[in-house]
A and B are shown apart, each in its own frame.
Chain A
């Protein structure tokens, strides 16, 4: 539980001022990102419409496929975060009860450096960058989102998993006071997700602490969440409090809820339909006509090697 009196808060849980102040600088500095991450343009084309978020005009920013960003209002008002209700608009309405600071994350399981870390010890400011990713929900809608975060590999390397560790498992905060949706039994709380270690170490996999250069709003998974752009959105576990290295495949929440519909891998794949609906096309929010869904959400060149020889129909 994270309910504590101020005198109980160790100094490690308080974000040093320079980190906060410099945060802005890192946003400004961030330029191109290797692999699937897109270029974040400097002074670009004239803004067709105002896309001012925080201190920055995002109107000229595009994904690496020259896609427009989904507006900030949509990214922060249309969310699946059942801890705050099951309707898309519920999280934006209800997530004000979450207290994202101070925040601690437990690192454990099969690793050389287990421990409980304050959020600011988890994030190394020099590694923060903007990453523009497509986000494809298993419900067949999608967005283009400029995340702000750092490679998960960075944390994994510091934790130094043992040779026997093959997976990493994440858990969301379990606190029905802060997360009123957890008072219902819609899902088996806390939310659990996981990755194979090679997926977790992949340079596209990030932990995000922000969106549009701002701290994550609570409804988007403050203060820290996973983003795996070639997988369905439900893999992107929010408000993470625990990270464990395991030998066995984690039993993720949606697989537990309906294992014939949601698997562990959950790679975006237009050829493998959900039992109840087609995954061949998706609605990009803001667009009228559905567009074709791309294998691995368009990141096939970067990630296909992870699944060589695997039957993606069986490992959905």
Chain B
């Protein structure tokens, strides 16, 4: 298999996996399988998908360096953009459907509830990254592009905190997310020193 075909195949896979959570939600929605509290269910599943997407984005480089599969590198952008897409949907769902655009309450939430503030900050931080994800911006920003895009670690950390902070007692999945993130950060720090 030549390089171009492999890349095409990998990108196709990314698109398939990236759209699958949305298709799954739509299917459950249209067949009335979202349970007794569908608004909350969709909100939470969009949030899960975002965090998984961000962690996958961050693991591409470590996996590439450990395995030598350099053809994985071009997948960072589409995977990251899918994560941003789900995060934006998560935020819009919260504002439009969950809070029915009651701005008084949305502002109160963002100002007074640390976990919502943290989630909101994670979204804001990712906007410049999504905007500058094109080839033109990579060229224009040169070295600063890499520096700017390290913000994805900050954003993902805030996302994990946002997840951890709203759980009542069962912290199992938030701890899994934080652990994965910590391992990815350790890789990054070790390589920087080396």
Contacts and interface: CB of A to CB of B under 8 A. Distances in A.
Interface of A: 70, 73-74, 77-78, 82, 86, 88-89, 139, 141, 186-187, 257-258, 276-278, 280-281, 283, 285-286, 288-290
Interface of B: 35-37, 39-40, 99-100, 102, 105, 108-109, 112-115, 165-166, 168-170
Contacts of B166: 276-277
26 contacts: A77-B35, A78-B35, A82-B169, A86-B169, A86-B170, A88-B37, A139-B168, A141-B37, A141-B40, A186-B169, A187-B169, A276-B115, A276-B165, A276-B166, A277-B166, A278-B108, A278-B112, A280-B105, A283-B37, A285-B36, A285-B37, A286-B36, A288-B100, A290-B99, A290-B100, A290-B102
Contacts of A82: 169-170
A77 B38 CA distance: 13
A70 B39 CA distance: 16
A282 B35 CA distance: 17
Given A285-B37, A288-B39, A290-B99, 6 more contacts: A73-B36, A77-B36, A82-B170, A277-B166, A283-B39, A289-B100
A74 B114 contact: no
A74 B170 contact: no
Nearest to A277: B113
B51 to A, nearest CB: 17
Contacts of A290: 99-100, 102
Given A186-B170, A187-B169, A276-B166, A78 B37 contact: yes
A74 B35 CA distance: 8
A117 B115 CA distance: 47
A89 B36 CA distance: 9
Among B39, B100, B108, the one with the most A-chain Cβ atoms within 10 Å of its Cβ is B39
A89 B35 CA distance: 8
A258 to B, nearest CB: 8
Contact of B36 (A78, A277, A278): A78
Among B35, B108, B115, the one with the most A-chain Cβ atoms within 10 Å of its Cβ is B35
A290 B109 CA distance: 14
A88 B168 contact: no
A70 B99 CA distance: 21
A276 B117 CA distance: 11
Contacts of A278: 105, 108-109, 112-113
Contacts of A285: 36-37
Contacts of B105: 278, 280-281
B176 to A, nearest CB: 14
Among B37, B102, B115, B168, the one with the most A-chain Cβ atoms within 10 Å of its Cβ is B168
Contacts of B36: 70, 73-74, 77-78, 88, 285-286
A270 to B, nearest CB: 12
A288 B39 CA distance: 8
A140 B105 CA distance: 14
B75 to A, nearest CB: 31
Among B40, B109, B165, B166, the one with the most A-chain Cβ atoms within 10 Å of its Cβ is B40
A307 B105 CA distance: 29
Nearest to A138: B168
Contacts of B100: 288-290
A187 B37 CA distance: 24
B172 to A, nearest CB: 8
Contacts of B40: 141, 283
A258 B168 CA distance: 9
Given A276-B114, A288-B100, A289-B100, A88 B169 contact: no
A285 B166 CA distance: 20
Contacts of B169: 82, 86, 186-187, 257-258
Contacts of A70: 36
Nearest to A140: B40
Among A74, A82, A276, A280, the one with the most B-chain Cβ atoms within 10 Å of its Cβ is A276
A290 B108 CA distance: 15
Among A70, A257, A285, the one with the most B-chain Cβ atoms within 10 Å of its Cβ is A285
Nearest to B165: A276
A88 B35 contact: yes
Among B36, B165, B169, B170, the one with the most A-chain Cβ atoms within 10 Å of its Cβ is B36
A77 B36 CA distance: 7
